[in-house]
C-alpha cells in the first residue's frame, strides 16, 4: 500500500514523516487495507485529511499524544464507510432518507470499529460531523443536554473538542477541494465561502486550512 500524492502545501516538514510512520503501523494498516479494498478514494481522502490534521496540529502546538490522535483520527475517521455500499457512497443524485441514515451511521459504526486506541479516538471519530449544519449523530442541542446531564463524566474535554474541530474542518476542506465522482473540486474562494457558512467550529481552523 502506497502513500498517495496530494495537492496541499503543508507548512511543516515533519507532517509527512509522521503520517508515513502511522501508515506503517501494523494496527493501523489493517484498517487502511479495509478502506482500500472498499474504495481507494476513501483511502486517499483519509490520507489527505490526516496530513491536514497533523499539519494544523503542529501549527497549534499540540503535544505528542494529541498529534498521534490527530493522525490516527484523520486516517480512520471514515472507517465506518466500509460497511456502506459504493452505489450509495458514490450516488450522484439525492439520497433517499434510508440511504442518508445509512451514510450518517458511519460516525458511530466507525468509532465502534476502532479497537485498542482508547476512548479519546472513539470520541473524536464519532464527532467528526458535529461541527456542520445538520450535524450528526448528535444535534448541537442534544450535545449540550448530554453534557449537562453527564457533567464531569462523559463530557468531552476541551482538548478533545479542539481535536475533533480540527478533524471536522480538515474533512470538509478536503471534501470541497477534491474532485469526487459526483462533483468537481471547488477553488479556495468558494471553499472559504461555504465553510464560513457551514462549519460551526472555531473559524481560525478555516483560515489555517486556506493557507495550504
* DSSP letters for 106-138: HHHHHHHH--SS-HHHHHHHHTTTSSBTT-SSS
Residue 132 backbone phi and psi in degrees, to 5: -145, 165
- Give the CA diameter of the chain: 45
Select 90 or 150, whichever has its Cβ closest to Fe ion: 90
Q: For the chain, how many helices (H) and strands (E)?
A: 12, 0
Using the rule CB under 5 A, which residue among 78, 130, 161, 165 binds Fe ion?
A: 78
Minimal distance in Å, beta carbon 78 to Fe ion?
4
Select 55 or 171, whichever has its Cβ closest to Fe ion: 171
Select 152 or 184, whichever has its Cβ closest to Fe ion: 184
Q: Please give the angle made by the CA atoms of 181, 182 and 185, to the nearest 5 degrees.
A: 80
CA distance 16 to 119: 26
Minimal distance in Å, beta carbon 13 to Fe ion?
25
Interaction between residue 130 and Fe ion (CB under 5 A): no
Minimal distance in Å, beta carbon 151 to Fe ion?
28
Select 84 or 160, whichever has its Cβ closest to Fe ion: 84
Touching Fe ion, residues 157-196 (CB under 5 A): 171
Select 129 or 148, whichever has its Cβ closest to Fe ion: 129
Q: Output 59-64 pairs: Cβ under 8 A, ≥24 positions apart.
A: 59/11, 59/12, 59/208, 60/162, 60/166, 60/208, 62/163
Q: Which three cell numbers stand for residue 154?
A: 462523559
Task: Please choose, from the candidates 10, 15, 124, the residue with its C-alpha nearest in 3D space to the C-alpha of residue 76.
Answer: 124
Stretch that binds Fe ion, among 70-78, 82-90, 143-151, 204-212 (CB under 5 A): 70-78
CA distance 99 to 177: 24
Select 15 or 107, whichever has its Cβ closest to Fe ion: 107
Minimal distance in Å, beta carbon 93 to Fe ion?
20
Minimal distance in Å, beta carbon 125 to Fe ion?
9
Minimal distance in Å, beta carbon 135 to Fe ion?
12
Binding interface with Fe ion (CB under 5 A) = 78, 171
Amino acid at each position: 500500500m502506497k502513500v498517495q500524492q496530494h495537492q496541499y502545501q503543508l507548512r511543516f516538514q515533519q507532517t509527512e514523516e509522521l503520517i508515513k510512520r502511522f501508515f506503517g503501523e501494523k494496527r493501523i494498516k489493517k484498517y487502511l487495507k479495509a478502506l482500500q479494498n472498499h474504495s481507494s478514494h476513501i483511502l486517499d481522502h483519509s490520507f489527505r485529511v490526516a496530513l491536514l490534521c497533523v499539519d494544523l496540529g503542529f501549527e497549534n502546538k499540540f503535544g505528542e499524544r494529541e498529534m498521534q490522535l490527530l493522525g490516527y483520527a484523520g486516517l480512520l475517521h471514515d472507517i465506518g464507510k466500509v460497511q456502506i455500499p459504493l452505489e450509495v457512497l458514490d450516488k450522484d443524485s439525492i439520497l433517499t432518507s434510508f440511504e442518508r441514515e445509512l451514510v450518517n451511521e458511519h460516525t458511530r459504526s466507525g468509532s465502534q470499529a476502532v479497537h485498542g486506541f482508547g476512548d479519546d479516538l472513539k470520541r473524536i471519530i464519532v464527532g467528526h460531523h458535529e461541527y456542520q449544519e445538520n450535524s450528526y449523530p448528535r444535534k448541537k442541542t442534544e450535545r449540550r443536554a448530554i453534557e449537562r446531564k453527564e457533567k464531569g463524566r462523559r463530557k468531552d474535554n476541551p482538548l478533545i473538542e479542539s481535536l475533533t474541530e480540527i478533524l471536522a474542518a480538515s474533512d470538509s476542506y478536503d471534501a470541497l477541494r477534491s474532485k469526487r465522482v459526483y462533483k468537481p473540486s471547488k477553488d479556495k474562494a468558494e471553499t472559504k465561502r461555504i465553510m464560513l457558512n457551514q462549519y460551526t467550529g472555531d473559524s481560525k481552523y478555516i483560515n489555517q486550512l486556506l493557507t495550504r
